[in-house]
């Protein structure tokens, strides 16, 4: 009996551990009522261009938001690691660009806008497909080219879509002017919506991007241009490929902000600030998110010929977006280690179930090849590879 009382008294007293980010981790057995419902955190100051004031230097996070962000970032991370595994097993084929390391960008942006707003990105699109409303099951099945995929198995890694999400675009930089077109529609309809148009540091030197800056500024379009600067484009460091690495200033006459893209709260507050700028009728704004990808540019790139393994490991140990959020929540009594482990286990199970579906679901039949050309139209005939081959397109 005495031993039992001793054990229970130890459970009642929280153990304080020291995390690798210097925060104190509180580990104890307690009810959810004991957790802190919200906390305010200092965040890194952003760099400004043509702006007198920027986003706030603090961010308030509720426990519910923190758990949601943690789960979403873990889901993206685990989903991408499973995609890596399936690619190496030759179950996923073709182009495949993974997003692990950059999770705070997608989750933070989504936290600063609404699902009624619009978003378009390049080919590193799996994370955005999830945050925009796609399911892990649909994404994994699309990667393996199955009927249950989010694009019916006909889009693959680079071409996934959901409501108000326009891909997933395979041509470098081509999504940026398309995003301006979506923003023009928002302004024309007067619906108080905006478009987020994303591109990478490798695409930032494209002429079509500067043409889009000009048109968007002239027409004061509600568009947030976001450069996800992951430092290396396809495999060339920004210092070697860009005469100016201050991408947030590239809009010249367009206001810009440079943000820590590894901190989900920094990204969220910056996105809220940018969205308010657009909705107030001031026109476009440019954001540069300084982030980092752990994998190579694509699965064909080992990712260590232009950077060292030690550099990658240093970023993982000092700036990992998931670890940063986890430490904040634990050190402020917003969650327990056991609770976060339960989320990790649930996420792994969801990924494994989705991978099982993605490897057993049937491939789309040849008859579906020409379907879904138009969103809402009567069936019509499409000529096949030869004049005597006929296919039918249905919406």
Residue 386: the pLDDT is 87
pLDDT of residue 376: 87
Instruction: Look at residues 338, 264, 321 and name the one whose alpha carbon lies nearest to residue 25.
Output: 338
Give me the pLDDT at residue 267, please: 98
Read off the pTM.
0.91
pLDDT of residue 98: 98
pLDDT of residue 305: 95
Closest residue by Cα to residue 362 from 139, 144, 147: 147
Residue 31 pLDDT: 64
Q: What is the pLDDT of residue 32?
A: 65
- Name the stretches of the chain with pLDDT < 50: 1-29
* 3-state SS, residue 19: coil
Q: Which DSSP string corresponds to 153-199? A: TSS-TT---BTTB-----STTTHHHHHHHHHHHHHHHT-S--EEEEE
pLDDT tens-place string over residues 138-150: 999 999 999 999 9
Q: Which residues lie closer than 8 Å to 6 by C-beta, 6 or more apart? A: none
What are the pLDDT digits (tens) for 298-325? Answer: 999 999 999 999 999 999 999 999 999 9
Neighbours of 14 (CB within 10 A): 16
Q: What is the dihedral of CA 91, 95, 101, 107, to 10 degrees?
A: -90
The H or E element spanning position 76 is helix 63-88
Estimate to the nearest angstrom the gap between the alpha carbon of 346 and the chain centroid.
Answer: 20
Q: Where are the alpha helices (DSSP H) in 89-158?
A: 103-112, 126-131, 136-143
Closest C-alpha among 130, 131, 47, 116 to residue 279: 116
Tokens of 375: 């969103």
pLDDT value at residue 11: 39
**What pLDDT score was predicted for residue 196?**
98
Two tokens at 16?
Answer: 């304080």
pLDDT at position 30 is 58
* Torsion sign (Cα): 310, 311, 316, 317: positive
Q: What is the DSSP letter of 363?
A: P
């Amino acid at each position: 009996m005495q031993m039992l009382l001793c054990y229970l008294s130890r459970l009642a007293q929280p153990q304080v551990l020291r995390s690798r980010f210097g925060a104190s981790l509180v580990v104890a057995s307690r009810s959810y009522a004991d957790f802190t419902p919200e906390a305010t955190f200092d965040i890194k100051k952003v760099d400004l261009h043509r702006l007198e004031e920027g986003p706030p230097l603090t961010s308030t996070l509720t426990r519910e938001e923190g758990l949601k962000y943690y789960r979403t970032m873990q889901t993206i991370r685990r989903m991408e690691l499973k995609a890596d595994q399936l690619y190496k097993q030759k179950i996923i084929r073709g182009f495949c660009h993974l997003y692990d390391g950059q999770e705070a960008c997608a989750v933070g942006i989504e936290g600063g806008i609404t699902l009624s707003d619009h978003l378009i990105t390049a080919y590193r699109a799996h994370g955005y497909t999830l945050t925009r409303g796609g399911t892990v099951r649909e994404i994994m099945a699309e990667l393996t080219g199955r009927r249950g995929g989010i694009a019916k198995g006909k889009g693959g890694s680079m071409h996934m879509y959901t409501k108000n999400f326009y891909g997933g675009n395979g041509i470098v930089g081509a999504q940026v002017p398309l995003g301006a077109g979506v923003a023009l529609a928002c302004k024309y309809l007067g619906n108080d919506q905006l478009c987020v148009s994303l591109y990478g540091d490798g695409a930032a030197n494209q002429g079509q991007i500067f043409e889009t800056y000009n048109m968007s500024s002239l027409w004061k379009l509600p568009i947030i241009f976001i450069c996800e600067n992951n430092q290396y484009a396809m495999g060339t460091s920004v210092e070697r490929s860009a005469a100016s690495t201050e991408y947030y200033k590239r809009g010249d006459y367009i206001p810009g902000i440079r943000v820590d893209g590894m901190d989900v709260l920094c990204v969220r507050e910056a996105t809220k600030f940018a969205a308010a700028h657009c909705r107030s009728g001031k026109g476009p704004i440019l954001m540069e998110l300084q982030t980092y990808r752990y994998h190579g540019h694509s699965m064909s790139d080992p990712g260590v010929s232009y950077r060292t393994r030690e550099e990658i490991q240093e970023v993982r140990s000092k700036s990992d977006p998931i670890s940063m959020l986890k430490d904040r929540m634990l050190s402020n009594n917003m969650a327990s280690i056991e609770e976060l482990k339960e989320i990790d286990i649930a996420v792994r199970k969801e990924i494994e179930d989705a991978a099982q579906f993605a490897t057993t679901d049937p491939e789309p039949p040849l008859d579906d090849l020409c379907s879904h050309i138009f969103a809402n139209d009567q069936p019509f005939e499409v000529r096949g590879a030869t004049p005597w081959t006929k296919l039918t397109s249905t919406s």
